[in-house]
Structure 1
Amino acid sequence: MRKKRHFLDILIFSVTLVLAAVFFFPIFFNLISAFKSNGEILRDAIAFPQGLYLESFKYLVTETDYPLAILNSAILTFLSIIFMILVIPMAAYAIERTNKKWTNGVFIYFLFGLMIPFQVYMIPLIKELKMIYLYGRLAGPIVIYISGSVGFGVLLYTSFLKGVPREIEESAEIDGCSKTGIFWKIVFPLLGPCTATMVVLQGLGIWNDFLMPMLVLPSGEPKTMIVEIFYYVGEFTSRWDMIFAGTTMSIVPVLAVFLALQKYFVKGVATGAIKG
């Protein structure tokens, strides 16, 4: 029995190792290609670079609109996440603590939003943005990202709030603390792992999004970094050195944020899964 268990552990570890290698290879391929010229990449795509070729990075920073595209991506991501954190936890708190028929109805309504693919309401959404004069502005994608994250965010926060004792809130209320103060001073700090999970998942989605900025932001002007990288992919020729250099630059901020929030992210996912 012990030998069988030992063999099963080795098998699971081996499969996990193979899957990790498969998922890591595109990142590895991107990193080694970022420091190669376009000619080197076309000659032998999987070979190591002969030297640190940095002209692609220099050209992107000094001769293109890529720095402004990175700034646009940062603005979209930062503002969207800030407003998500300000709005969604309060909505989830009201739903979880009120626990009435109409709040349960609102919760189900939010969950329905998770079941509708974006492509179904994409065209009406673009027309609506034009009607309210948000088409072609950074505020347009921000509003869409916030509203699109409500369903997932409310589900995540309500699952986590079930583990927060009500006695803490009752004690604060006896001491004269207002409902707003109870939430922001007592409850919200306890939602740190959940908030970290929200920041990582939604932030990655916004930072790497291609379709929404491509549709909403005007053509002929700097967009987000993913869209700017796409312009180097041509029908007959492609500047692979620019593409890999741009994607490498886009990975660095994401990796830094994930490493900073990794502990809270894993804790938030595990706790939410157990309580949900």
Structure 2
Amino acid sequence: MHKSKKWMEILVLAIAILLAVLFFFPVYFSLISAFKSNGEILRDAIALPTSLYLDSFKYLLTETDFPKAMLNSLILTATSILFMILLIPMAAYAIERTGKKWTGLVYIYYLAGMMIPFQVYMIPLFKEMRSIGLYGTLTAPILIYIAGSVGMGVLLFTSFIKGIPAEIEEAAAIDGCSKVRTFWQIVFPLLGPCTASMVVLQGLGIWNDFLMPSLILHSDKRTLIVEIFKFVGELASRWDMVFAGTAMSIVPVLVVFIFLQKYFVKGIAAGATKG
């Protein structure tokens, strides 16, 4: 029995190592290719660079709209996440603490939105953005990102709020705190792991999104991923530019994740045991 358990642990470890290698290989491939010329990449894609080739980075930053595209992506991601954090936790708090029949219906309505693929309502949505004059502006995708995150956000936050004792809020009410003050000063700080999980998951989705910005934004408002894709042609591609841009796009994501990883892991672990 003891031997079989030991072999099972070895098997699980071997599978984990294999999966880690498989997931790391695309990152390794992108990073080494970022420091190679286009000719080197085409000659031997997986070989290490013979020298530290930095011309791709210099060209992207000085001769293209890459800096502007990075700023557009930053504005989209930061603004969307900010409004998600301001609005969605309050909606989840109202649904969970009110306990009325109609709030349960609202909760189901939000969750039902998660089951409809974006491609189903994509064209009518774009027509609506055009009819109200937002098509081609950064405001349009921000509104769409916020609305699209409500279902998952409410699900996450209501699950966490269930684990917060209502007695804490009752004590705050006795001390004269309003509902709004009770939420922001007492309840919301306890939702840190959940908030970090949402920031990371939604932030990654928005930062790496290609479909929405490519369809709804004008060429002068390209985002990072759309700008990188510009170097992929039908007959010829500048892979040195693609991988250099990809490497630079990874840096902000890594910085944010390093700062939030502790809370993110707590949020995922706690979310597995709640709700």
TM-score by length of 1: 0.99
In the TM superposition, what is the alpha-carbon distance from 1:259 to its structure 2 partner? Answer: 1.1
Asked if the contact 1:35–1:245 (Cα under 8 Å) also holds between the matched residues in 2, the reply is yes
What is the CA RMSD across the aligned residues, in angstroms? Answer: 0.6
Which residue of 2 is the match for residue 251 of structure 1? 250
Alignment deviations for residues 11-41 of structure 1 (CA, whole Å, 9 cap, x no partner): 0000010011001000000000000000000
Structure 2 unmatched runs, 5+: none
Q: C-alpha distance in 2, partners of 1:64/1:163? A: 50
Q: Which letter maps to 2:197?
A: T
Matched, 1:19 2:19: yes
Q: C-alpha distance in 2, partners of 1:42/1:97? A: 59
Report the 3-state secondary structure (helix = DSSP H, G, I; strand = E; otherwise coil) of the residue aligned with 2:273. Answer: helix
In the TM superposition, what is the alpha-carbon distance from 1:272 to its structure 2 partner? Answer: 1.3
Which residue of 1 is the match for residue 229 of structure 2? 230
Asked if the contact 1:222–1:228 (Cα under 8 Å) also holds between the matched residues in 2, the reply is no
Q: C-alpha distance in 1, partners of 2:26/2:273? A: 32
Q: C-alpha distance in 1, partners of 2:273/2:98? A: 22
In the TM superposition, what is the alpha-carbon distance from 1:227 to its structure 2 partner? Answer: 0.2
Which residue of 1 is the match for residue 138 of structure 2? 138
Which residue of 1 is the match for residue 186 of structure 2? 186
Which residue of 1 is the match for residue 174 of structure 2? 174
Which residue of 2 is the match for residue 240 of structure 1? 239
Q: Which letter maps to 2:24?
A: F
Q: C-alpha distance in 1, partners of 2:175/2:202? A: 36
Which residue of 2 is the match for residue 69 of structure 1? 69
Q: C-alpha distance in 2, partners of 1:6/1:262? A: 31
Q: C-alpha distance in 2, partners of 1:212/1:115? A: 18
Asked if the contact 1:66–1:222 (Cα under 8 Å) also holds between the matched residues in 2, the reply is no
Residue correspondence of structure 1 range 1-276 to structure 2 within 5 A: 1-219=1-219, 221-276=220-275
Count of residue correspondences: 275
Q: C-alpha distance in 2, partners of 1:222/1:198? A: 26
> What fraction of aligned residue pairs are identical, expressed as a percent?
71
Q: Which letter maps to 2:60?
A: L
Alignment deviations for residues 180-218 of structure 1 (CA, whole Å, 9 cap, x no partner): 000000000000000000000000000000000001101
Asked if the contact 2:138–2:221 (Cα under 8 Å) also holds between the matched residues in 1, the reply is no
Report the 3-state secondary structure (helix = DSSP H, G, I; strand = E; otherwise coil) of the residue aligned with 1:121. Answer: helix
Q: C-alpha distance in 1, partners of 2:39/2:271? A: 49
In the TM superposition, what is the alpha-carbon distance from 1:222 to its structure 2 partner? Answer: 4.0
In the TM superposition, what is the alpha-carbon distance from 1:269 to its structure 2 partner? Answer: 1.1
Q: C-alpha distance in 2, partners of 1:120/1:152? A: 18
